[in-house]
Amino acid sequence: MATLISKLINFIFLTSGRHNIDESHGIGHSMNVLHYAHRIYASELPKFPELKKEERAIYISALIHDMCDKKYMKEEEGIQEIENFLCDKITQEEVETTKTIISTMSYSKVKNFGYPRMEDPTKQLAYHIVREADLLTAYDFDRSIIYHMNRSNSDLNKAYENAIGVFNERILRHEEDGLLITDFSKNEAAQLKIKALDRIQTWKVILKNRSL
């Protein structure tokens, strides 16, 4: 019998194919967010043992958070597809927690509307764990290039310039903008920022190579 995580992975494959979700937001990205969510969760659990009850919602949200992304589909329809998929696999409370997390965690929604206010502080922490896991994957500069090439059919140089703009306006400002709350994410982001800047510089050298 397939495990829940196997069913979730299959759901991501099917949904990505149906909605033309490209590599920048597909299965590889979902797995990276899952791994970061696991590490943040593990770092917070000793301090907040009650977080254990939100473990499944955290892992599920991390995996499927982009399966309702408005860049690829109507968000409401995506959330409904997710609810239909989850309704016989987890509790209704977990379904509602997952829906709240994935429908309010995007960078644009946080900047425009702030964080959702959850009555349960444990659920609030679960939300931040998934949200921060997604933010940490944003430091992957190559992923940003891939996204811009897929969305605008631009050449590599144009995609590089677009990615630079996103990094300068958003990603390199995460901590400055107060978007990182947990100690793990703050420490990890500092290291990822160094790697991202190095990657950006390497791309700059490669793209100036006249033999290419």
In a domain, 212, yes or no: no
Per-residue burial over 62-86, b = 16 or more CB atoms within 10 Å of its CB, e = otherwise: bbbbbbbeeebbeeeebbebbeebb
User: pTM value?
Assistant: 0.95
At residue 1, the pLDDT reads: 62
Total domains present in the chain: 1
In a domain, 86, yes or no: yes
First to last CA, the chain: 50
pLDDT, block means (10 residues), the chain with 212 residues: 91 96 95 98 98 98 97 95 97 97 96 92 98 98 94 87 96 95 97 98 95 88
Contacts of 113 (CB under 8 A, 6+ apart): 104
Name the DSSP letter for residue 65.
T
Closest CA to 32 of 145, 137, 138: 137
In a domain, 69, yes or no: yes
Domain span at 128: 4-207
Whichever domain contains 117, its CATH number is 1.10.1300.10
